[in-house]
């Protein structure tokens, strides 16, 4: 075992300051919850004005251009989601900010949770250099199933949802993109749509309310939408209240903007332990991690573009060299900037030629209802496609199409998932990334800059 240390990528698009569009006439984000009989019912009180099966994206330069500077210019939010800063945590700050731990809806949720059952696991501390302090934690016995310490994915606590970290089906590439919706993603989303490729999209709450058309496009295209926290922090270093708020307000943001409430989430940097998992479970959320990491976010910063391309090539080769003959994988990639999205478009044709299935995680796990609502379902995994002999590139693409997720209306199907078979590869580097976007409401540039300065200094250590 050795310790790998990587720096977190920082992508900062500074198109802020001019856009103080915080006024609104109608708010879709108001909730009327005051009591909750059980915490898992929280999503029933979200009053979204968005029909997830009938989303219209306004044709404005930001939604039609492929020029990032145009795409990332502030726009008036859609009429079915009027952002009112007073009703949300501050963008890119802990989700308890702006008084959000004291709202009646949050209090109702908090009080519905039986905290006496919460695991007594310490809130982790940061070292002065920003890395997690693991002093005193036994990484070998790993009592808390702390992924950052051990890549543990099977909770040691009863009643906690077990992580998904790999696709069980053979020759399957689980396609996941973190940190969106990115304001400059039009070309990438156009590509995915043209190629009928569906991915799991892990959206950051701050980005969702900041770039609502971006999130709506993800839902409209039938991608598997999941929660990636409000402010993208190391979750094990946050208090119970903060963890709950990071997840809750992102769930709310995704519901308000897209009309669905996810049942899956991914921790920033993969930093999760049984305390954080337990809180996520209270919200009906299951953790999705990965077993292959491209480190694409680091291309051009702490890693060369060539080294990330080599990593992609290596993972692609695994599709034909027998590595995934009996199982699949989930790859960590990002919607963080033009570099990562260009890499995705560069390699997806090769990925599809090398793998039988290139699909979102809900599909690969045969989870046909990946949202709390029953309005949107995803087609089941196409078992016949999966069991046929290794296909040539052309028929492989057909298999992908038939197995890919599609949005359909109607009642929820059985949402049982297959047990994840053991991954053929060990968990890879634990480094996720940090992004930001042009701001609807960034009241303090200095605060944001301080946040990213801290993130830039951040070093993440883990055993592998
Ligand atoms: Zn991330």
Q: pLDDT tens digits, residue range 142-165? A: 999 999 999 999 999 999 999 999
pLDDT digits (tens, 9 = 90+) for 430-442: 333 333 333 333 3
Positions of the chain with pLDDT under 70: 1-34, 383-464
Helix (H) or strand (E) holding 68: helix 68-71
**pLDDT score, position 452:** 37
Per the DSSP assignment, residues forming a β-bridge with 172 are 357
Kindly state the tokens that stand for 18: 């001019």
Measured between alpha carbons, how far is 329 from 315 in angstroms, rounded to an integer? 10
**pLDDT score, position 245:** 98
Number of structural domains found in the chain: 1
List the one residue out of 308, 311, 205 whose CA is nearest residue 261.
Answer: 205
Contact 180, 11 (CB under 8 A): no
Rounded to the nearest angstrom, the distance between the alpha carbon of 365 and the centre of ligand 1 is 21
Rounded to the nearest angstrom, the distance between the alpha carbon of 229 and the centre of ligand 1 is 9
Rounded to the nearest angstrom, the distance between the alpha carbon of 340 and the centre of ligand 1 is 13
**pLDDT score, position 34:** 62
Per the DSSP assignment, residues forming a β-bridge with 463 are 3
Rounded to the nearest angstrom, the distance between the alpha carbon of 409 and the centre of ligand 1 is 30
Catalytic residues: 178, 334
| Predicted TM-score of the model (pTM) | 0.80
Q: Which domain holds residue 149?
A: 3-463
Measured between alpha carbons, how far is 416 from 344 in angstroms, rounded to an integer? 30
**pLDDT score, position 32:** 52
> Which residues, other chains included, contact 208 with Cβ-Cβ below 8 Å and sequence gap of 6+?
181, 214, 215, 250, 253, 254, 257, 258
List the one residue out of 266, 267, 274 whose CA is nearest residue 154.
Answer: 274
CATH number at residue 32: 3.20.20.370
**pLDDT score, position 269:** 96
């Amino acid at each position: 075992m050795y310790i790998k240390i990587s720096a977190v990528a920082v992508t900062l698009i500074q198109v802020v300051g001019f856009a103080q569009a915080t006024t609104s006439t109608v708010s879709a984000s108001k909730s009327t919850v005051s009591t909750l009989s059980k915490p898992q019912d929280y999503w029933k009180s979200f009053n979204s004005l968005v029909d997830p099966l009938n989303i219209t994206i306004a044709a404005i330069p930001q939604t039609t251009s492929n020029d990032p500077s145009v795409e990332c210019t502030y726009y008036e939010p859609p009429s079915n989601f009027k952002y009112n800063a007073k009703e949300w945590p501050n963008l890119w700050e802990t989700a308890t900010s702006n008084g959000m731990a004291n709202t009646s809806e949050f209090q109702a949720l908090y009080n519905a949770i039986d905290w006496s059952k919460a695991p007594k696991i310490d809130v982790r501390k940061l070292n002065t250099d920003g890395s997690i302090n693991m002093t005193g934690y036994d990484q070998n016995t790993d009592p808390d199933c702390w992924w950052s310490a051990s890549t543990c994915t099977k909770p040691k606590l009863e009643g906690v949802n077990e992580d998904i970290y790999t696709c069980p089906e053979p020759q399957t590439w689980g396609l996941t993109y973190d940190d969106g919706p990115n304001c400059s993603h039009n070309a990438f989303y156009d590509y995915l749509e043209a190629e009928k490729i569906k991915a799991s999209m892990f959206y950051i709450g701050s980005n969702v309310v900041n770039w609502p058309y971006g999130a709506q496009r993800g839902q409209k295209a039938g991608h598997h939408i999941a929660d990636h926290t409000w402010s993208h922090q190391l979750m094990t270093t946050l208090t119970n209240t903060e963890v709950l708020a990071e997840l809750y307000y992102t769930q709310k943001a995704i519901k308000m903007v897209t009309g669905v409430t996810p049942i899956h989430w991914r921790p920033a940097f993969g930093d999760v332990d049984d305390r954080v998992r337990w809180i996520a479970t209270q919200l009906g959320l299951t953790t999705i991690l990965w077993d292959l990491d491209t480190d694409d976010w680091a291309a051009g910063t702490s890693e060369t573009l060539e080294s990330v391309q080599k990593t992609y090539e290596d993972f692609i080769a695994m599709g034909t060299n027998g590595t995934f003959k009996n199982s699949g994988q989930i790859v960590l990639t990002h919607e963080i900037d033009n570099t990562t999205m260009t890499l995705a478009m560069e390699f997806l044709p090769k990925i599809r030629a090398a793998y039988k299935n290139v699909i979102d995680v809900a599909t690969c796990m045969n989870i046909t209802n990946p949202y709390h609502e029953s309005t949107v379902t995803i087609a089941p995994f196409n078992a016949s496609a999966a069991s046929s002999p290794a296909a040539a590139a052309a028929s492989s693409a057909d298999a992908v199409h038939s197995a890919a997720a599609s949005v359909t209306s109607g009642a929820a199907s059985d949402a049982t998932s297959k047990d994840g078979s053991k991954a053929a590869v060990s968990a890879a580097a634990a480094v996720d990334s940090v992004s930001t976007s042009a701001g609807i409401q960034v009241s303090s540039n200095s605060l944001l800059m301080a946040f990213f300065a801290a993130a830039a200094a951040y070093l993440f250590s883990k055993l592998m």
